[in-house]
Amino acid sequence: MNKHNAGWIFATIALGVCLIVSIVLGLNGYFFSVAFSNQKTDLVVGEGVVLGIKENQAQVVSFTFDGNFLPGEAIPQVVQICASNANKDVVLRVRGQIFGIEESLDFVVSEEFEERDGFYYSKNILNSGGKVAFCSHLVVPEDAKFVCGEKYVLTIVVEALDSDLDWQNIWKIAE
């Protein structure tokens, strides 16, 4: 090996290392995406849950949802929101979504919530340490196209803002 060829050898080795690293990262990304899209959660739709929230934060809970439910079927699902961790009174908004698809579920919400622009907003301020029921049932829409035997992930996101803040402008609520 002479000095003249050292640059080419170094460049070839460097490009080979870059190729190997990119292949490894690409395969890891592929396997991660496949595993993530087929994920299951510890909670199954039908099990009640209590979400502890704190002011100016969001809390998420995910359920495994089975595609075997019939369109129009009401599924018992109790979700309660507890402000035991909050230091201040809060205003809530909630949104539910099925991960990775355009389908959604309807919620049978308590009288404490109303639906606007895809979110469910609390009608009243939740006092620090207080608890409120969000929903009692999920309803599969009549036009739903869930695949029988498939598992889906239903995610419910609860956002809580300090009631002293201008939460209507923060969330851009149109009255």
pTM listed for this prediction: 0.69
* Listed range (7-11, 14-18, 35-39, 162-166) with the worst mean pLDDT: 35-39
More confident residue, 175 or 119: 119
Q: Tell me what pLDDT residue 112 has.
A: 92
Instruction: Count the helices and strands in the chain (H runs, E runs).
Output: 2, 10
> Rounded distance, CA 41 to CA 152, Å?
10
Q: Of 143, 59, 72, which Cα lies nearest the Cα of 108?
A: 72
Fold of 43-164: Immunoglobulin-like (2.60.40)
Helix (H, G, I), strand (E, B) or coil at 175: coil
Q: Tell me what pLDDT residue 121 has.
A: 92
Q: pLDDT tens for residues 36-66?
A: 444 445 666 767 888 888 888 888 888 888 8
Mean model confidence pLDDT for the chain: 80
Q: What is the DSSP string of 104-145?
A: --EEEE-TTEEEETTEEEESSPBPTT-EEEEEEEEE--TT--
Q: Could you tell me the CA-to-CA distances from 157 to 59, 76, 96 in Å, in that order?
A: 6, 19, 6
